[in-house]
Amino acid sequence: MFRSLKKLSRLRAEARSSAEVRYDEEGRALLSMSVRDGVEFLSPYALSGRPDLNSEVADFLDGAVMNLRPEEEIRLEISGDADGKKKSEFRAAVKNHYRAKVLETDRKLSENARMSLIFALVAAVVLSVYVVLEINFANFVVLQLIDITAWVFMWEAVDLVFLERKILKTELVRATSLYSAKVIFKDDES
């Protein structure tokens, strides 16, 4: 058992060291990616003619930021063949995709707050019913069912506020970091 734990500790340390983050001269985390063909970078579907990221590219970027602290500023460095028009489409696609993600996550946070408040209010009402029935000497089984129902609603409210909300906030901060990322093309620097 201890050998397995030592091996696991060694592998974790190895994974951490191989996931070191590079930084540019301005202190931004540097994410480098290469694009072989501009068509692969952009999604063939777009709302209102706004370019959007291909889902594979978006998944790649979302995975790449997982090694970073959520609040870090990002510089996305793209290498590949692209003319001036494609470069501006690529930049716009990154902005459009993560703008939509920020708005969606913000909507989820609002929904989370609303649902947790509703669950807490339902729990308070059900506990009030419990107290009234307790005073009126209601059946023990009925009281227990009402008690369990109240605590289920209360737990859901706590889960939404303290567990799910933190995940959503981290997702929002990461999406905002990618939205505000500085997108640079490698051949622009040379």
Per residue in 96-131, pLDDT (tens digit) is 999 999 999 999 999 999 999 999 999 999 999 988
Cα gap 75→169, rounded to integer Å? 21
| 8 Å CB contact between 133 and 144 | no
Q: Report the distance separating Cα 21 and Cα 34, nearest Å.
A: 17
Q: How large is the average pLDDT for residues 3-31?
A: 76
Instruction: State residue 38's pLDDT score.
Output: 55
Sequence-ordered strand ranges (E) for 6-73:
22-23, 29-35
Q: How far apart are CA 134 and CA 120, in angstroms?
A: 21
Tell me the pTM.
Answer: 0.78
Its sign, for the CA torsion 44, 107, 172, 188, is: positive
Can you tell me which residue has the tokens 């001269």?
25
First to last CA, the chain: 54
Amino acid letter for position 69: R
> What is the average per-residue pLDDT within 135-144?
85
Q: Strand 29-35 to strand 74-80: parallel, antiparallel, or no bridges (unpaired)?
A: parallel
For the record, the structure tokens of 92 come out as 């716009």
Residue 85: its H or E element: helix 84-135
pLDDT at 189 over 60: no
Q: What is the per-residue DSSP string for 61-84?
A: HHHHGGGS-TT--EEEEEEE---H
Report residue 19's pLDDT band, with 50, 70 and 90 as the boundaries: low
